[in-house]
Structure 1
Amino acid sequence: MSTLWRRIATEDAGEDYARAYAERFRRLAARGVDVHGEAALVAQLLPPPARVLDGGCGTGRIAVRLAELGYEVVGSDVDASMVAVARDDAPHLEWHVADLAAPEPVTEPVDLVLLAGNVLPLVDRGDLPAVGRHLVRQLAPGGRVLAGFGLDADHLPGDCPVLDLGLVDTAFSEAGLVSTGRWSSWDRDAFTGEGYVVATWAAA
């Protein structure tokens, strides 16, 4: 597991960080906060039924919502503690402990790969080309990648280093992915080039 991710995950929540992470979103939902913006955008871009890989799925919040909406969902995350919580909460779904920079354990192609929750900035920069290649191998013809992440320190957890969007575009382009859109939020607000980006790429 990335030492950067481990440090950021545990600095506020301690060793039970995975369960604390899941509980934080449950409390938000209980207060009436909409915590399903990512799944709502997936539904706008690719109505169900479709097959989705939730890469960097964490404790499964988005994958569970997508399954409720009628998608066939596979969740994967490099953090075994996060995946354990997801399995406990939704044992009927398919979960894997896997690194985005290594071949995913998904046997059937997917129509969309979702990378939400600042997954990409937590990838070692040298691994971005491998991530791009492995994402392409997961996609069915015409499949897409949808990712959202912060572009500055205010939109990233802990001391996570800022990821240049250009590095992602270059790595994904070399892997055979074409940029097809970007916004500044999961609500598809116009992209300003600052703060936060939600972007899509399609298999060439």
Structure 2
Amino acid sequence: MVEQSNWMRQVEADPGHSHWYVERFRAMARAGDDLAGEARLVDAMAPRGAHILDAGCGPGRLGGYLAACGHRVVGVDVDPTLIEAAEQDHPGPRWLVGDLAELDLPAHGIIEPFDIIVSAGNVMTFLAPSTRVPVLTRLLAHLKEDGRAVIGFGAGRDYEFSEFLADAAHAGFATDLLLSAWDVRPFTEDSEFLVALLRPS
């Protein structure tokens, strides 16, 4: 049995947490905040009409933007409340409830591997530690041979950047580029954020 994610533990402790999270981003969107920085980087990397997996998609802001750019998007999240919000706010992509540690999209009829897999919003830090390598392994299994994964999260969340990069290598990824922000700033030893561009090794 897969260990429960830190996110779902939070939801269990506070049943209103998911609704708060959804409303937070809806309020930011209404205020005109820029919520598409991650998606713009992914769009710049992707061929037109790319097949993109939004892994840990939350309420769908990235996948929705990428679908509006003409990409074929599948979003997966463990939280049904977030998937429901994604379906309401961002029609177009295919949204699925699922645990990334057990990701098996061919079982949902999605056979084609992905050009790009994106995991933003600190998703990696919400995973149970025992599932980090299995999640990375499952992501790699859904990626094209020449595809790339883009994974970003902040420091101070009980997952050291060096540990993540070691886990990614263990799962079969090679590192193409490390950035310290989604706006393509270079990564340094004292960076407070990591955006890792990975490919199959």
Deviation at 1:86, TM superposition (A): 1.3
Per-residue CA deviations over 1:106-133 (Å, capped at 9, x if unaligned) read 4220011100000001112221221121
| Counterpart amino acid of residue 150 in structure 1 | G
**Superposition map of 1:36-115 within 5 A:** 36-105=36-105, 106-115=110-119
Any stretches of 5+ residues in structure 1 without a counterpart?
153-160
**Residue equivalent to 2:175:** 179
Per-residue CA deviations over 1:149-178 (Å, capped at 9, x if unaligned) read 0112xxxxxxxx420122222222122210
**Residue equivalent to 1:157:** none
- TM-score, normalising length: structure 2: 0.87
CA distance in 1, matches of 2:104, 2:90: 20
CA distance in 1, matches of 2:133, 2:7: 19
Counterpart selection for 1:165 from 158, 161, 168: 161
- TM-score, normalising length: structure 1: 0.86
CA distance in 1, matches of 2:163, 2:71: 31
Any stretches of 5+ residues in structure 2 without a counterpart?
none
2:101 is paired with a residue whose SS is coil
CA distance in 2, matches of 1:22, 1:65: 16
2:139 is paired with a residue whose SS is helix
Does the 8 Å contact 2:101/2:138 carry over to 1? yes
Residues 47/85 of structure 1: CA separation in 2 closer, same or farther (3 Å cut): same
Per-residue CA deviations over 1:76-127 (Å, capped at 9, x if unaligned) read 0011111122123334421111111113324220011100000001112221
| Counterpart amino acid of residue 187 in structure 1 | D
Counterpart selection for 1:122 from 115, 122, 126: 126
| Counterpart amino acid of residue 173 in structure 1 | A
Counterpart selection for 1:136 from 140, 147, 151: 140
| Counterpart amino acid of residue 18 in structure 1 | S
CA distance in 1, matches of 2:11, 2:180: 25
Deviation at 1:135, TM superposition (A): 1.0
CA distance in 2, matches of 1:82, 1:189: 30
Count matched residues: 194
